[in-house]
C-alpha cells in the first residue's frame, strides 16, 4: 500500500508521546513493506530539522515539513470564539500546508491518507478534492475529554465556563468529523467506545501505542535498596503540571511522615522554575534530560498522577517495557489492559497514592515483581508488529469496501 501520513508535528526525533506514536507506526509500516510518505507541520515548538534526521529515514519516508505558527494567539482565539470556530483546531490550518498538500496529491496517488490526530482534520476537504484515497483518522486522544476534565479541575471561576464552552465546542467538532472520514483508528478501547456511542457508521478499530521491546532493556532490579520514585514528562502539557503539583502538595507530605528517607525525582521539558527552585525533603527536580531512557533506567518506580488526560499514556507503556513498577491514577492508566495489583498499582485519592508509594518503598521486591509483570504485558499486548498488522488489515478492509 501507498500511505500518506499527515502529522501535526515532526514524528522524528521521537521526543514525546505524540511523536513516538507517529514514528513507531511509520517504522512499523515501512518494515512491513509498505510505502510511506510523511508530510508534517513544522512548529515553533517542534521544528523539523532535516539535518538531524538519519539519511535512511529521510530516504524511506521522503519526510518534509511546512512551517505553521501554531502558537496560541489571544486575538485569534477570541475571533474564533465569536465565529464559533474551534481555535484548538483552526490554528493548525495553514494555506501553505494546504497548497503543498494539493501539489502532492496532484502528483502522486495514495491508497490511504492517515491523519495523525484531530488537528489534521481541517485538510479533509482538500484530500477529498484531490485524491481518491481512503481517509483514516488516527485518534491519539479524545481531545474534548481532556479539555472537559481540565475545565472541571479549573480553580479560576472566571476561566471555568470558558473552558467548558471550549470542551463542548470541541466535542461537537470531534463527533462531526467521524462522518467525514472513512475509518478511525482509536488509540484505546475507551476512546473507541466513545466514538461508537456517537452512533456513527464509520468503522472504528483500536490501534494502541506499540513499542519494540528490544529497544527497552530491563535493568537488573536492585532489591537491596529502597526504590527511587520518579516522574518524567513534558511540563508544558497542563495535565502533567496539574498532576505533579497535586503529588507534591497532597501526597508527598503524607509519604514523608511515614518514610522520611523516601526519594522522588522529577524531570521534564519546560519544568516550571518554582518547582526547580523548590526545596522539599527527598525531592530532586530538573528540567529536560538528554536521554529519557537513561533517566528511567536509573530509577525504579514511575508515578503518573493524572486527572485530566485521555487516550493512552506513552510514558507508562515505555516504563512498563523497561520493567518499571508504575503507580497511576485510573485516568492516567486509561487505555491499558492492566491488572491492578499485578502489573500496575492504581490510586484515586491522595491517601491511596501515598499508601502505594509507602508500600513499595518498604517492599522493593514487590516493586521488582510488578515491573517484571509489566514487561510481560507489553511483550504480550503492546509490541509493534501485531499492532501494525492490525492496522494494515483495517486499511485493507476499507479499500475492499
Cell of 316: 507508562
Q: What phi, psi does 82 have (nearest 5°)?
A: -70, -30
Does the pLDDT of residue 400 top 60, yes or no? yes
The residues near 306 (Cβ < 8 Å, ≥ 6 apart) are 239, 240, 243, 313, 328, 329, 331, 332
Nearest to 392 by CA among 118, 59, 33: 33
* Domains along the chain with CATH numbers: 2-210+383-400 (3.40.50.2000), 214-381 (3.40.50.2000)
What average pLDDT does the segment 154-181 reach? 76
Q: Can you give the pLDDT at residue 172?
A: 78
Q: Do 291 and 128 meet the contact criterion of CB atoms below 8 Å apart? A: no
CA distance 394 to 184: 10
**CB atoms < 10 A from the CB of 33, how many?**
8
- Look at 337 and 158; give whichever has higher pLDDT: 337
- Look at 14 and 308; give whichever has higher pLDDT: 14
pLDDT digits over 235-286, tens only?
A: 988 889 999 999 999 999 999 999 999 999 999 999 999 999 999 999 999 9
Q: What phi, psi does 37 have (nearest 5°)?
A: -110, 125
CA distance 137 to 186: 8
pLDDT digits over 52-83, tens only?
A: 999 999 999 999 999 999 885 544 444 444 33
Does the pLDDT of residue 131 top 60, yes or no? yes
pLDDT digits over 185-230, tens only?
A: 998 888 888 888 877 789 999 999 989 999 898 877 666 789 999 9
Q: Please give the angle made by the CA atoms of 158, 162 and 167, to the nearest 5 degrees.
A: 145
For the entire predicted model, the pTM comes to: 0.80
Mean pLDDT over the full length of the chain: 89
Q: Can you give the pLDDT at residue 152?
A: 67
pLDDT digits over 149-161, tens only?
A: 666 666 676 677 7
Does the pLDDT of residue 311 top 70, yes or no? no
Q: Can you give the pLDDT at residue 87?
A: 57
Amino acid at each position: 500500500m501507498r500511505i500518506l501520513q499527515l502529522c501535526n508535528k515532526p514524528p522524528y526525533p521521537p521526543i514525546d508521546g505524540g511523536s513516538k506514536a507517529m514514528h513507531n507506526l511509520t517504522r512499523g509500516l515501512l518494515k512491513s513493506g509498505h510505502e510511506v510518505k510523511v508530510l508534517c507541520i513544522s512548529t515553533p515548538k517542534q521544528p523539523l530539522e532535516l539535518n538531524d534526521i538519519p539519511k535512511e529515514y529521510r530516504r524511506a519516508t521522503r519526510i518534509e515539513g511546512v512551517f505553521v505558527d501554531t502558537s496560541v494567539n489571544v486575538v485569534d482565539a477570541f475571533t474564533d470564539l465569536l465565529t464559533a470556530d474551534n481555535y484548538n483546531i483552526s490554528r493548525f490550518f495553514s494555506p501553505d500546508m494546504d497548497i503543498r498538500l494539493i501539489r502532492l496529491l496532484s502528483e502522486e496517488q495514495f491508497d490511504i491518507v492517515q491523519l495523525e490526530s484531530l488537528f489534521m482534520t481541517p485538510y479533509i476537504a482538500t484530500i477529498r478534492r484531490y485524491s481518491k484515497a481512503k481517509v483514516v483518522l488516527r485518534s491519539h486522544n479524545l481531545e474534548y475529554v481532556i479539555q472537559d476534565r481540565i475545565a472541571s479541575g479549573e480553580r479560576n471561576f472566571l476561566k471555568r465556563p470558558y473552558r467548558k464552552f471550549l470542551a463542548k465546542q470541541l466535542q461537537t467538532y470531534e463527533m462531526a468529523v467521524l462522518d467525514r472520514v472513512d475509518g478511525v483508528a482509536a488509540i484505546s478501547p475507551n476512546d473507541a467506545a466513545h466514538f461508537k456511542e456517537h452512533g456513527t457508521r464509520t468503522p472504528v478499530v483500536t490501534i494502541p501505542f506499540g513499542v519494540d521491546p528490544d529497544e527497552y532493556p530491563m535493568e537488573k532490579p536492585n532489591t537491596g535498596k529502597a526504590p527511587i520514585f520518579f516522574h518524567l514528562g513534558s511540563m508544558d502539557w497542563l495535565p502533567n503540571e496539574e498532576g505533579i503539583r497535586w503529588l507534591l502538595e497532597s501526597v508527598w507530605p503524607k509519604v514523608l511522615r511515614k518514610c522520611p528517607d523516601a526519594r522522588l525525582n522529577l524531570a521534564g521539558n519546560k519544568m516550571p522554575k518554582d518547582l526547580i527552585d523548590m526545596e522539599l525533603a527527598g525531592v530532586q527536580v530538573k528540567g529536560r534530560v538528554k536521554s529519557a531512557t537513561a533517566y528511567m533506567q536509573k530509577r525504579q518506580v514511575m508515578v503518573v498522577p493524572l486527572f485530566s488526560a485521555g487516550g493512552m499514556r506513552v510514558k507508562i507503556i515505555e516504563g512498563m517495557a523497561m520493567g518499571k513498577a508504575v503507580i497511576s491514577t485510573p485516568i492516567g492508566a486509561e487505555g491499558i489492559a492492566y491488572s491492578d495489583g499485578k502489573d500496575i498499582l492504581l490510586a484515586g485519592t491522595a491517601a491511596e497514592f501515598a499508601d502505594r508509594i509507602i508500600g513499595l518503598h518498604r517492599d522493593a521486591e514487590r516493586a521488582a515483581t510488578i515491573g517484571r509483570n509489566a514487561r510481560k504485558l507489553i511483550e504480550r499486548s503492546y509490541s509493534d508488529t501485531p499492532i501494525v498488522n492490525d492496522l494494515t488489515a483495517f486499511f485493507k478492509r476499507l479499500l475492499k469496501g
